[in-house]
Amino acid sequence: MPLQLVIGDKRYSSWSLRAALALELAGVDYTEILITLNRPDTAQRILQHSPSGKVPLLKTAEGPVWDSLAITEYIAEQQPQLWPRDAYARAVARSVCAQMHSGFAGLRTHLPMDLQRDEPLASMPAEASADIEQVCALWAECRAKFGQDGPFLFGQPSAADAFYAPVASRLRSYKVELPPEASAYVEAIYNWPAFQRWYQAAQEEHLG
């Protein structure tokens, strides 16, 4: 059975973007099942695939795997290039992914992903500003310690970039002023072919 990734709108679903980037990074073949969000039948349609009632979900020959972090780890078991080769760098990459997975609630709440947006908030809430500052510091630390051989958090693209690409998109969509290092990382994400493919598809959603 070929892999199938159940996702929400590419314009809005940051969790789906993470899983898709991980699959693209691993170079595995898969097809998409896209469920439009915020419709009367959305929850029912997702439950047809996902026991958690959420996207993304990966359909495999063995059965379903849900949650973007679990999907990433499942793929990494077969394609270990998703994580840095060095043991400590790999541990840090997992740490920053877990931090993104469960933290930065202010940023996620007040700056939801919208890949068609191109305007700032009228007023930036303090909790969102604090999260943005923390994210920029985290990016700078990863780049300083592990980013010598490329423009990504650990030099070359990894699962960590899959998890922080939605954050980079938020910062650009909401026109957040960033330190030069953070701006350079956002640019690297937008130049990443895997992200570009998703971004272009997001621009075409809900047109007409």
Q: For the domain that residue 186 is a member of, what is the CATH number? A: 1.20.1050.10
CA-CA distance, 48 to 70, in Å (whole number)?
19
Tens of pLDDT, residue by residue over 191-204, are 999 999 999 999 99
Report pLDDT digits (tens) over 70-128: 999 999 999 999 999 999 999 999 999 999 999 999 999 999 999 999 999 999 999 99
- CATH code of the domain in which 71 resides: 3.40.30.10
Does the pLDDT at position 23 exceed 60?
yes
Are both 98 and 163 inside the same structural domain?
A: yes
Query: 3-class SS at 30?
Result: strand
Give residue 24's domain range: 3-80
Tell me what pLDDT residue 206 has: 75
| Distance (Å, whole) CA 86 – CA 51 | 35
Helix (H, G, I), strand (E, B) or coil at 98: helix
Per the structure, the count of domains in the chain is 2
Each residue's pLDDT tens digit, 80-94: 999 999 999 999 999
31-66: per-residue pLDDT in tens? Answer: 999 999 999 999 999 999 998 999 999 999 999 999
Confidence of residue 207 (pLDDT cuts 50, 70, 90): low
- 170 and 92 together in one domain: yes
Q: What is the DSSP letter of 163?
A: H
**Dist CA 133 CA 138 (whole Å):** 9
Distance CA(20)–CA(27), nearest Å, equals 11
Residue whose structure tokens are 């300083």: 144
Percent pLDDT > 90 in the chain is 97
**Is residue 71 within 8 Å of residue 65, measured between CB atoms?**
yes
Which tokens hold the place of 104? 């930065």
Confidence band for 208, pLDDT divided at 50, 70 and 90: very low
Predicted TM-score (pTM) of this structure? 0.96
User: Helix 68-78 to helix 14-26 angle, to the nearest 10 degrees?
Assistant: 0
In the listed set 80, 108, 138, which residue is the last one of a domain according to the structure? 80
